[in-house]
Chain A
Amino acid sequence: MGLRQYRAMVRKDIVRELRTRETVVAMLLFVVLAMVVFHYAFTVPGGGDLSLLTGGMLWVVFVFGALLGLNRTFAHEKDEGCLDGLLLCPVDRVTIFLAKMTANLVFLGLIQVIAVPLFALFFATGRMATHLPAFLALVVLADLGIAALGTLLATIAMHTRARELLLPIVFLPLVIPLLIAAASGTSAVLSGTAGSGSVLGRLAFLLVYDGVFLVLAYGTYDVAIGE
């Protein structure tokens, strides 16, 4: 029954989002606007090489954009009083975590499908296409880490009155290691040094990071979702 429940929760969050468009549209607008701002702010006279900077730019935008969505993880359950309905169901709490994390991953992935080509247009050279598998692996692993950490913290934060304030305060310090790995890996891709093994090291780090927060969520989610 776990798979049926998982699918039902993911489908419910996606159908609801398709109908209200309150999360993805805000995330997308933020990401696009931030890229436009960065594009003009970092215009170098004479067209200098920005490849060492743009990896950081891209992931700062994604992390803050994701934060907008993560803040909404349980918003409708809390606002509409449906959290009790969810908790009354005979469902393992980890299944709730996995479903919420998947919905957050889908929303983040959706904005990246639009944002990454825009980023390539603004900042990247043809190197991104050359090292596309390495770049995609970085995106997948970094997204998984953002969603795992963010879903766990959003669950804890939802029980507080100032959840919109609390989530960034606890999320941002913990996401810094991921941000460094994803940004430096992306910069390596864009500067053409992706084949040197530096990206592999970053990917390995992201894999460990994801594993740590997935295991942490598995062990603590029953308490995190609380009473």
Chain B
Amino acid sequence: MVGDGDTAVPEIRVEGLGKAFGRREVLRDVSFTVGRGGFLTLFGPNGAGKTTTLRLVATLLRPSSGSVAVAGYDLKDDPMPVRRAIGFISHNALLYRDLTAQENLRFYADMYGVADPGRRIGELLERVELSHRRYDVVSTYSKGMLQRLAIARALLHEPRVLLLDEPHSGLDPHAVEILDGLLGEIRAAHTFVMATHNLRQGLALADQVMILDAGRVVFSHVGRLAADEFAAVYHEHVREGALV
């Protein structure tokens, strides 16, 4: 079931967010709110600032201006609870290739202080259909299997917020199907922000969309949108780069 985000209880609040690398300003005055259980999709061409926005919310970058609060905690003052509240999935699996799936998940379980890690790891590996490969080193996994394990890694500490950076990138159709199925299953229990180029995948679960271009918000809409309607809006606001 797709639930509309409860905007009365903001799970993510971003205000006037800006980021500059040296003199190069890559993000300017970005503001949005995602309610508990909401799903925001960020669209935009390459270099629009989608990944930078996600990395700022994930505490991987320090904002040059503005503020970010996740699960009620301010990123600058309280980064630890923010990190505990976040699960991050990107096209990079963030897994150690010379360790087994079991060793990788055990490492992250210890890092997040997961209680009863053995049971939780078993449960998640079952869910992503990788139990039979749990003692194999990750370097022997296919891209699709890696991404499923990355989802298990991101869900290990039961985060309230999931940040997805191009999670479908490089996956074959079968792996995309499995990933979408998993996202659909966990949709109701989490708050999401996803960055993508893909129109169908971006709109499938979203109840809120935003278009970024050249580091600025050029369109923002709360509520579901039809694909045709959104494609027209996108091309009206973004000159370069096409949606897939």
> Which residues does A use to contact B, with CB under 8 Å?
1, 4-5, 7-9, 11-12, 15-16, 19-20, 76, 80-82, 84-91, 227
Contacts and interface: CB of A to CB of B under 8 A. Distances in A.
Nearest to A22: B98
Interface residues of B, number: 30
Contact of A8 (B80, B107, B153): B107
B103 A15 contact: yes
A186 B112 CA distance: 44
B28 interface: no
Contact of A5 (B60, B61, B110, B137): B110
B108 A16 contact: no
Interface stretch (B83-91, B125-133, B193-201, B211-219): B83-91
Contacts of A12: 96, 99, 103, 107
A91 B111 contact: yes
Given A4-B110, A5-B110, A12-B103, A81 B98 contact: no
A15 B86 CA distance: 27
Nearest to A85: B94
Contacts of A11: 107
Contacts of B61: 227
B60 A16 contact: no
Contacts, number: 72
Given A16-B99, A80-B96, 7 more contacts: A8-B106, A76-B96, A84-B94, A88-B86, A90-B83, A90-B113, A91-B111
A28 B96 CA distance: 24
Contact of B96 (A4, A7, A16, A84): A16
Q: Which of B58, B59, B86, B94 has the most CB of A within 10 A?
A: B94
Contacts of A16: 96, 98-99
Contact of A88 (B59, B62, B95): B59
Nearest to A16: B98
A167 to B, nearest CB: 22
Contacts of A81: 92-94
Contacts of A9: 107, 111
Nearest to B19: A227
A1 B113 contact: yes
B97 interface: yes
A88 B153 CA distance: 12
Interface of B: 58-62, 80-81, 83-84, 86, 88, 90, 92-99, 103, 106-108, 110-113, 137, 153
B84 A84 contact: no
Contacts of A76: 96, 98
B83 A88 contact: yes
A182 to B, nearest CB: 33
B123 to A, nearest CB: 20
A227 B94 CA distance: 16
A52 B14 CA distance: 65
Contacts of B81: 90
Contacts of B88: 84, 88
A40 B61 CA distance: 53
Nearest to B111: A89
B111 A82 contact: no
A82 B103 CA distance: 14
A62 B137 CA distance: 33
30 contacts: A5-B113, A7-B110, A8-B106, A8-B107, A9-B111, A12-B96, A16-B99, A19-B98, A19-B99, A76-B96, A76-B98, A80-B95, A80-B97, A81-B92, A81-B94, A82-B94, A82-B96, A84-B88, A84-B90, A84-B94, A85-B95, A86-B111, A87-B59, A87-B60, A88-B59, A88-B60, A89-B83, A89-B111, A90-B111, A91-B111
A227 B98 contact: no
A4 B62 contact: no
B112 A89 contact: yes
A95 to B, nearest CB: 10
A3 to B, nearest CB: 10
A84 B86 CA distance: 13
Nearest to B87: A88
A46 to B, nearest CB: 52
